[in-house]
Structure 1
Amino acid sequence: MRRLLLVAPVAVLVAVAVLLAATEYVVARPSHRTKNVAYVPATAPDFDPERHVLDVYSPKKPAPTAAGYPVVLFIHGGSWTSGNKNIYTFIGRRLAKQGVVAVVINYRLAPPVHVPEQAADCARALAWTVNNIKQYGGDPARVFVMGHSAGGGLAALLATDDALLAAAGLAQNPVRGAIMDDPAGLDMYSYLKEMRYSNDAQYLVPFGKDPAVWKEMSAIYKVRPGMPPFIFYLGGETYPSISGSSGRFRDRLKAIGQPAPYTIIPGRHHIPMVLQLYWQHNIIYQGLLKFVGA
């Protein structure tokens, strides 16, 4: 199947989470989860008590240095119209167990909002993380972003769009690196201009009909010297649109003298690229831990 299909079906992810729940308690013991922390003030006119919240997963052991543990902010996928942080507790637990403070966020979904508002939500969550993560054992000077599917596209915007972060109160980009797990949406401008497949109109729901917005929300057009480093993990059997845009993104990084590690995992489809993060010693964690200096 060659069409985009960016959504990792939530029902599938929920079913897998239920099946794995029996072992989750054992894994949870080395970490502490702080749930449903609001990253937008409740007094804000657009505050959403369900979507403007995040969870923090901290190692129970004190950090080996006074600076604290490295931090990874994870953004879920779901084609910009679905998904929930509560599906991804296993990622927070595995990262905390391996010496990383994990921040797993919700953001508003389309409809009624569009991708620019979602990107703004992610930027606000990043600002909260920088300003507050010290009290959870994290090092605010070592904050990384990570995303799967549509979350990968949003994470890439945090690493590349300084104006987006400035609007959230961040005078400088605090992102130290970006981990791309089968990312979608890196170049929605080209994708939506082509409209190659019969169901592509569904992506006009989150992106709208203005090509200028498609381009503004595509991180590939924001690649420039001096931006944070990227690391890519792609499924060998993922969708052509994801592998194609990721490859073009990598080429643009090379063109500015910033080559990015780029790992293709044979036989992996799109959904298993995030489900494999249930296992602590998989290849993504191995590379991630080195990347963040855990």
Structure 2
Amino acid sequence: MRTFFFRILPGCLFLALLLGLANEYAVARPSRRTQDIAYVPTSDPQFNAERHLLDVYAPKQKTAFLRPVVVFIHGGSWNSGNKNFYSFIGRRLAKQGVVAVVINYRLAPQVEVPAMADDCARAVAWVAQHSAEYGGDPQRLYVMGHSAGGGLAALLTADNALMARWGMPVNPIRGAILDDPAGLDMYDYLRKMQYPGDEEYLVPFGRDPAVWRTVSPMYYLTPGTPPFLLYVGSETYPSIRNSSEKFQQKLTALGHPAAMKVLPGKKHVPMVLQLYWQHNIIYQDLLQFVGSNAQPHAAQ
């Protein structure tokens, strides 16, 4: 039995998501979705008509003030996943007063993780430039991710050069919410190769240890890194638990008051499925973290 990341959505998870989508469509309607927006220009030679898209979920209720923005990055072991599976997260966030953006990005084996990180950075740059059009506050922009998406969210938050490559000399991300994140230190993980089948991760990460380090958020943390919320399931994969503990310890050593919350009884997949329920602990903390009740910037 595998002890690391799930590679594809199992049939039972896919069914659960389909049921969840049907339910949220019926009951979580205080939002409007703008679907399949291209965040890479269609004239770009690298443009992918499926993967370079995002959806924006905005509260229907208009206010005189701009709302916080959360960009959600899906997981799937860097080789699977789709924004359409996670509309329940977009709607739940919008229902609670947040402008949510759920993105696609290219996957292995078509590209490796550095290209995935670039895609996510381009999506965040687009959101920083356009979120006000949907009632979002670009000065309160946060990223969130589960599994592989958590690792990518952490990388975008900590690696300022990654955002600078796409027209953001000042990183617009104000903080990150990591839900059972994978890939926080792939440099350490891939050098050890402790688990059966680990060589499969050389497809998305390649064989160059220097690249493994380049895409590992652990090595970009500084005293000036934005804050993190970090959640781990008590029954998740040992590698995720261990790397998250190391990540939290490094944040603490750098002066960040970032506590890792271990959620009892939760395995890796339920850590994201719980986001269907709007009153779970992650949403409760997230709303305070992003300042959903604050109104510092008037809408134009």
Q: Does residue 263 of the first structure (1) align with residue 244 of the second (2)?
A: no
Question: 1:123-138 alignment to 2 at 5 Å?
Answer: 123-138=121-136
Q: Which amino acid aligns with 1:99?
A: G
CA distance in 2, matches of 1:280, 1:249: 27
Per the alignment, residue 143 of structure 1 pairs with 141
| Residue aligning to 1:240 | 238
- Tell me the residue number matched to 1:205: 203
Q: Runs in 1 of length 4+ with deviation above 4 angstroms?
A: none
- 2:193 and 2:199 in contact (8 A); partners too: yes
Query: Does structure 1 residue 272 correspond to structure 2 residue 270?
Result: yes
What TM-score does the superposition give when structure 1 sets the normalisation length?
A: 0.97
Distance 1:80 1:208 in 2: 12
1:286 has 2:276 as partner = no
CA RMSD after TM alignment:
1.2
Q: How far 1:113 sits from its partner (Å)?
A: 0.3
Q: How many residues align?
A: 292
TM-score between the two structures when normalised by the length of structure 2: 0.95
3-state SS of 1:17 partner: helix
Match of 2:154 in 1: 156
Whole-Å separation in 1 of the counterparts to 2:125 and 2:198? 33
Instruction: Give the equivalent residue in structure 2 for 1:7.
Output: 7
Q: CA deviation at 1:127?
A: 0.2
For the residue of structure 2 that corresponds to 1:221, the secondary structure is: helix
Contact 2:5 2:147 in 1 (8 A): no
After TM superposition, give the deviation of residue 202 of structure 1 in Å: 0.6
Code of the residue aligned with 2:195 in structure 1: it is Y
Q: 1:44 is matched with which residue? A: 44
Distance apart, 1:193 and its partner CA: 0.3
Q: Secondary structure at the match of 2:144?
A: strand
**SS of equivalent to 1:276:** helix
Q: What do the CA deviations read for 1:123-177 (whole angstroms, capped 9, x no partner)?
A: 0000000000000010000000000000000000110001111111101011111
Query: Which residue identity is paired with 1:95?
Result: L
Give the structure 2 partner of residue 27 of structure 1: 27
Whole-angstrom distance in 1 between the partners of 2:91 and 2:10: 20
Letter in 2 for 1:19: L
* Contact 1:10–1:82 (8 Å) recurs in 2: no
Shift of 1:23: 2.2
Match of 1:97 in 2: 95
Kindly provide the CA deviation profile for residues 217-253 of structure 1, in whole angstroms up to 9, marking residues without a partner as x. Answer: 0000111111100011110100010010010001111
Listed as ranges, the matches of 1:166-205 within 5 Å are 166-205=164-203
Residue 135 of structure 1 aligns to a residue whose secondary structure is: helix
Which of 101, 106, 109 matches 1:108?
Answer: 106
Give the AA of the match of 2:159. Answer: D
Tell me, in whole angstroms, the C-alpha distance in 2 between the residues paired with 1:246 and 1:144: 19
Corresponding letter in the other structure for 1:196: Q
Alpha-carbon separation, structure 2, partners of 1:6 and 1:54: 23
Report the secondary structure of 2:196's partner residue.
Answer: coil
The answer to whether the Cα contact below 8 Å between 2:21 and 2:87 also exists between their aligned partners in 1 is: no
1:6–1:184: 8 Å Cα contact kept in structure 2?
A: no
Give the secondary-structure state (helix, strand or coil) at the position aligned to 1:169.
coil
In 2 relative to 1, CA 119–10 (structure 1 residues): closer, same or farther, beyond 3 Å? farther
What are structure 1's unaligned runs of at least 5 residues? none
